[in-house]
Structure 1
Amino acid sequence: METARMRHSRPRMAIVDPNTLAMLGLKQILQNVVPIISVETFSTFEEFEKAGPNTFFHYFVAQNIVLENRQYFTEHIQKTIVLTITKDPSAQLSGFHSFCINVPEEELVKTILRLEQHGHSGGKNLPEMPQVLKNKILTNREIEVLALLVQGYINKEIAAKLCISLTTVITHRKNITEKLGMKSVSALTIYAIMNGYVDINKI
């Protein structure tokens, strides 16, 4: 019954972390990366338990909460992503997916995108993206500029690669941000990956 409900509604993700600021920041990024999901936050394991953990696709859980409730999360290891503050493998829990939150926003976004692509390649198991997000808004040239931009190329390099002038690149970038309503490279990266304009392994 729960599984059927999960299939026909927005996928639910849970964040369990006593650090309110970290939790809210991660919630915002998750909703930007995967707009079709619903993210719920809990500051304690008890709150999370009352909400019915089986109805969530994934849990992002602070390492101390995983340690305090290790048996539960070990039984749900495929759904659990441990939030850590270090990338040091020796400080991470073996067997669990770990996710370091102590990195710049762009790196967080890329990590979440990799998780999403790995877990649901091509959107498998996830509902359809809203039509407005699937519509082709950009021209072919703008898509080329966007793809190079999110791969880390600067305006001068984009101009050289596409054999166009620097002024033209700047105009395309302005059009891209105006059409999409996005200014940050993180937001543009999410858009480019989710629309298949750039391979996640190239960013």
Structure 2
Amino acid sequence: MQRPKIAIIDPNTLAVLGLKTILQNVMPILTVETFGSFAEMEANNADSFFHYFVATNVVLANRPFFTDNRHKTIVLTTSNDPNSQLSDFHCVCINQDEEQLVKSLLFLEQSAHAHGKNLPPVPKVLNAKLLSDREIEVLSLIVEGFINKEIADKLNIGLSTVITHRKNIMDKLGLKSVSALTIYAVMHGYVDINKI
């Protein structure tokens, strides 16, 4: 089975590379392709993409195509102000810290795709349960913003045990940041997006 593809169309190379990395973390079952212009994306079978993440200026310059594909288009904006966003499209502000951007993408994924129901099944290797029940409890509390001491108190375990669990979780998942842990926890249903 071929993985669904997402296109990022934006002339800003650094923004494209950063967003590609975040999208691959948020939606590991997707293939993310990047393009510096609309013409470049159009030359690569434009209709084969599941979603288009597009800079506002690219949408405005190619409005007929993106209007026809409104349900597949997410406009990358530089402001959260609804008055500065294109009203006919889903918009994501890229001028925010990584944690907020990840939350925005997770909200978008969960509202648009009903917890992945409209997406193809996740490969078994990505769906395997890697963490123990206790590690899942610790992960959930980390993602909800509790510090190690608070987690120890909530679970009635020692501080050193929490630190060991935290290290084991990061080692097992190969993740190094709280943002990456947040993505993993939400995508696996361990934490409700509204609790973070």
Is TM > 0.5 for Structure 1 vs Structure 2?
yes
One-letter amino acid of the structure 1 residue matched with residue 133 of structure 2: N
Which residue of structure 1 lines up, in the alignment, with residue 187 of structure 2? Answer: 194
By how many angstroms is 1:173 displaced? 0.6
Q: Equivalent residues in 2 for 1:41-190 (5 A)?
A: 41-190=34-183
Shift of 1:15: 0.5
The runs of at least 4 consecutive aligned structure 1 residues that moved more than 6 Å come to none
Question: 2: distance between equivalents of 1:14 and 1:48?
Answer: 8
TM-score (norm 2): 0.95
Distance 2:73 2:130 in 1: 36
| TM superposition shift of 1:119 | 2.0
Q: Which moved more, 1:119-128 or 1:24-33?
A: 119-128
Counterpart-to-counterpart distance in 2, 1:43 and 1:152: 37
State the Cα distance separating 1:14 from its structure 2 match.
0.5
Aligned length, in residue pairs: 196
Aligned-partner residue type, residue 25 of structure 2: N
Distance 1:136 1:70 in 2: 44
User: Structure 1: how far apart are the matches of 2:157 and 2:49?
Assistant: 48
Output the TM-score relative to the length of structure 1. 0.92
Per-residue CA deviation, residues 132-155 of structure 1 (Å, 9 max, x unaligned), is 221111111110010010111111
Contact 2:5–2:50 (CA under 8 A) maintained in structure 1: yes
Distance 1:181 1:70 in 2: 41
5+ residue gaps, structure 2, are: none
The equivalent position to 1:20 in structure 2, one of 13, 23, 30, is 13
Q: What percentage of aligned pairs have identical amino acids?
A: 65
- Mapped partners of 1:165, 1:39: distance in 2: 42
More divergent stretch after superposition (139-148 vs 121-130)? 121-130
* C-alpha deviation, 1:41, in angstroms: 0.9
Instruction: Give the whole-Å Cα distance in 2 for the aligned partners of 1:88 and 1:123.
Output: 28
Q: Residue 132 of structure 1 aligns to which amino acid in structure 2?
A: V
What is the distance in 2 between the residues matched to 1:14 and 1:99? Answer: 15
Q: Distance in 1 between matches of 2:3 and 2:174?
A: 24
Deviations 1:31-84 (A, max 9, x none): 111111011111111111122222111100000111111222112111110001
2:109, 2:186 → 1: CA distance?
Answer: 10
Distance 1:75 1:158 in 2: 49
